[in-house]
Amino acid sequence: MQIIKNVFKFLIFVLPLHISAQSTYLQQDAKDYHFIDRMEIMEQRNTDLNFSTLKPYNRKYVLQEMANLDSNEQLAKLSKPDRYNLLSLYMNNSEWYNGNESLFSSKKPILKTFYKNQSNAFEVNVKDFFLAINPVLHFRMGKELDNDKNIYLNSRGITLRGRIANKIGFSSTIIDNQERGPLFFQQEVAELRAVPGVGFYKAYKQDVNSQDYFDGRGYLTFNATKYIDFQFGYDKNFIGNGYRSLFLSDWGNSYLFAKINTRIWKFNYQNLFMELMPRYKDIGNNLLRRKYAAMHHLSMNVSKSLNIGLFEGIMFGRSDHFDFEYLNPIIFYRHVEGSIGSPDNAVAGLDFKLNVKKRAQFYGQFLLDEFILSKIKNDPSNWVNKFGIQFGAKYIDAFGIKNLDIQAEVNRVRPFTYSHFDTINNYTHYNQPLAHPLGANFQEYIGIVRYQPFPKWNFYARAIYFYKGLDTANANFGGNIFKSYLTRLSDAGFNVGSGNKATCMNATLNVSYEFRQNLFFEAGVQNRDYKLASGYHDNSVSFSAGVRLNIYKREYNF
C-alpha cells in the first residue's frame, strides 16, 4: 500500500512540529470495555466517552474521563466490583495515571525485575520513554459431543506498547496459534478458506481440521495538534455501540490502515483509509491482489446523553493502486464517486446512542447501500432496497442487582446489501465480511447477560438466534455478498430469509476467575443448533476450560 504510506509520510512532513503527548489504544475486547460502558451510562455526561462509538479506545482519553470518578463522593457510589475494575483500569494504563502508583506495586516481583507493576511483566517508565512488555497466553481444551477429536486453542505470544518523548506512541502484538474448533467452525474455515478473525492459515501437523496461524498487529501514533490524532498500522477498527456493527466490525482479519481522528468541541470526525484483499481461492506463491476502502464517521454530542453520527464508506479496486480522489478528507464521498463515473461500492449510514436515567442506553444504526423511495412504497421486495437496521439496549444493575447487566440487540439486513456488480468491490476483506459476519439477507436477535457478583468472578451468558436466506443451486437470493448482484434471476420477490432458509440458535455460558491481573481461569459450555429448510440439521454441544493471559477470549459467535 505504497500510496497510503507516502500520504502518511507527507502528513508528518507538512503538519506542525508541535506534537502533544501521544497514546496507544486498548486491545481488542479488553476486559475494560464493558466497565467503561457502565461508567458512561452511570455518569451520563462524559464528553469523551460519548465518542465511544469508535473503537479501540484511546488510553489517554479513557483515563482522563475516569479521573472524574476519582473522588470520595463518586467512589462511594461504586460497588466493590466497580472499584476493583477502576483500579484495574488504572493499573493497565499506568502511563497515564497521575495518582499514587504504589497501589500497583507487586509485593513479590519476580527476580526483582519482572512484574514490579501487577499488570505488566516488564515496565520502563522514565523521562521521555515508557515501555510495557507482556506475555500472551490462551490455552483451552474442550470436548464436542459427537466429535471423536478434542477441540483446543493454543496461543502464545508477546505484546508491547510505549511512547517516546511524549510524541510518538507505538504498539505491537505477535501471537502464534494452533486451533481445532468445533465442527461448525471447521466448516466455516473450509468455506471461507480463511480462519474467522484472522485469515491466512496452514494445516497443523497435516490435520486439515486444525489450523496453524499467526496474528500479528502493530501501529504508530502521534498528535499533530491538541485535537488531531494520527494512527498508521496493521490492526482492526470498529464503528458502533452494539455487539455487532453494520458499518465496520473487528470480526474479520486485520488490515493496513491510516487513520485521522479530529476531536473538538462537541464533534468527533474520523477519516480511515484501508488496504484490503479481495476474495481468493488458492494462494500458492503468487502475490494477492489488493483493493481499497475509505471511510468517514462524524459524530456530535447533541446533549450530555445523546450522541448521533453520520457514516460513509467507499470500496474500490484500481488495479492495485489507491484512487487519489478518495483522499478528500471532507465527508460525502458519494459526490466524489459519482464524479468519476460511479464505478465503486458506496454505503452511508446513521447511528445514535442515548443514555437514559443513568441506568440504560439505547443505540442503533441504519446502513444504506441503495434506496429508491418509490420501490419501498410500491415494490418492497425489489432487490434494490438494500439496507440494514440495528437497534439495541443496555441495562445496567438490572432489577436493582449490582453489576448485573443485560444487553439486547436486533440486526436486520436486506438481501444484496454490501454486494456489488464487480466482485472486487464487495464489502469484504480476506474472504470475510467487513461488517456483520452473516453478510446479508438475515435477521438476528442477541441477548447478553453479564454478572460480576465479586471483584474477581465473572459470569457471561449469550444467546444468538438468527434466520438467513441461503442460495439454492440455481438462484442467487442475495445472502452471499461475495457474489455479483448481476447473477440474480429477477428484480423482485426478495425478502429477508428468501431462499433456502437457515435458522440457528447459538447459546453459550462462560464462568471466569481473575487469579491475578489479566490472568483468567475459565470454563464454559456452548450449544449451537442449526437447521435448513431443505432438511439439513446440525447440533453442536461443546464443553471447554482453560487459562487466558493478556488476550481476548476466542468466540464462535456465528
Please give the mean pLDDT across all residues of the chain: 89
Whole-number percent of the chain with pLDDT over 90:
73
**Rounded mean pLDDT of 105-130?**
89
- Does the pLDDT at position 356 exceed 80? yes
The CA-CA-CA angle for residues 275, 279, 280, to 5°, reads 115
Phi-psi region of 221 (alpha: psi -120 to 50; beta: other; left: phi over 0): beta
Is residue 558 included in any domain, yes or no?
Answer: no
**Rounded mean pLDDT of 362-385?**
88
- Does the pLDDT at position 335 exceed 70? no
Give the whole-angstrom CA distance, residue 275 versus residue 2.
Answer: 10
Give the whole-angstrom CA distance, residue 250 versus residue 237.
Answer: 6
Confidence class of residue 325 from pLDDT cuts 50, 70 and 90? confident
Is residue 154 included in any domain, yes or no?
Answer: yes
For the stretch 183-218, pLDDT in tens is 999 999 999 999 999 989 999 988 989 999 999 999
Predicted local distance difference test score (pLDDT) of residue 285? 62
For the stretch 498-541, pLDDT in tens is 999 999 999 999 999 999 999 999 999 999 999 999 999 999 99
Burial of residue 551 (CB within 10 Å: 0-12, 13-18, 19+) is: buried
Contacts of 485 (CB under 8 A, 6+ apart): 383, 416, 419, 420, 421, 476, 478
The CA-CA-CA angle for residues 526, 441, 433, to 5°, reads 70
Predicted local distance difference test score (pLDDT) of residue 225? 84
Confidence class of residue 284 from pLDDT cuts 50, 70 and 90? low
Whole-number percent of the chain with pLDDT over 70:
89
Strand ranges, E, within 59-150: 122-126, 129-144
Predicted local distance difference test score (pLDDT) of residue 206? 86
Contacts of 473 (CB under 8 A, 6+ apart): none
Predicted local distance difference test score (pLDDT) of residue 8? 45
**Rounded mean pLDDT of 142-164?**
96
Predicted local distance difference test score (pLDDT) of residue 103? 79
Predicted local distance difference test score (pLDDT) of residue 80? 95
Give the whole-angstrom CA distance, residue 511 versus residue 518.
Answer: 15
Is residue 133 included in any domain, yes or no?
Answer: yes
Cβ pair 392, 412 in contact under 8 A: no
Q: Enter the pTM of the model.
A: 0.92
**Rounded mean pLDDT of 301-318?**
91
**Containing structural domain, residue 138:** 2-370+377-549
Closest CA to 52 of 76, 77, 35: 35
For the stretch 132-148, pLDDT in tens is 999 999 999 999 999 99
Is residue 201 included in any domain, yes or no?
Answer: yes
Predicted local distance difference test score (pLDDT) of residue 16? 41
**Rounded mean pLDDT of 423-434?**
94
Predicted local distance difference test score (pLDDT) of residue 65? 85
Is residue 418 included in any domain, yes or no?
Answer: yes
The CA-CA-CA angle for residues 61, 67, 69, to 5°, reads 125
**Rounded mean pLDDT of 208-237?**
94
Residue, of 287 and 320, whose pLDDT is higher: 287
Burial of residue 389 (CB within 10 Å: 0-12, 13-18, 19+) is: middle
Give the whole-angstrom CA distance, residue 530 versus residue 528.
Answer: 6
Predicted local distance difference test score (pLDDT) of residue 492? 93
Predicted local distance difference test score (pLDDT) of residue 333? 56
Closest CA to 239 of 157, 190, 184, 296: 296
The total of structural domains in the chain comes to 1
Is residue 176 included in any domain, yes or no?
Answer: yes
Least confident range from 63-67, 175-179, 410-414: namely 63-67
Is residue 556 included in any domain, yes or no?
Answer: no
Confidence class of residue 25 from pLDDT cuts 50, 70 and 90? very high
- Taking the CB of residue 371, how many other CB atoms lie within 10 A of it? 13
- Does the pLDDT at position 10 exceed 60? no
**Rounded mean pLDDT of 270-281?**
89
Compute φ and ψ for 96, nearest 5 degrees. Answer: -115, 10
For the stretch 238-260, pLDDT in tens is 999 999 999 999 999 999 999 99
Q: What is the CATH number of the domain that holds 77?
A: 2.40.160.130
3-class secondary-structure state, position 531: strand
CA torsion sign for 187, 191, 197, 203 is positive
Cell of 38: 457502565
**Identity of residue 278:** P
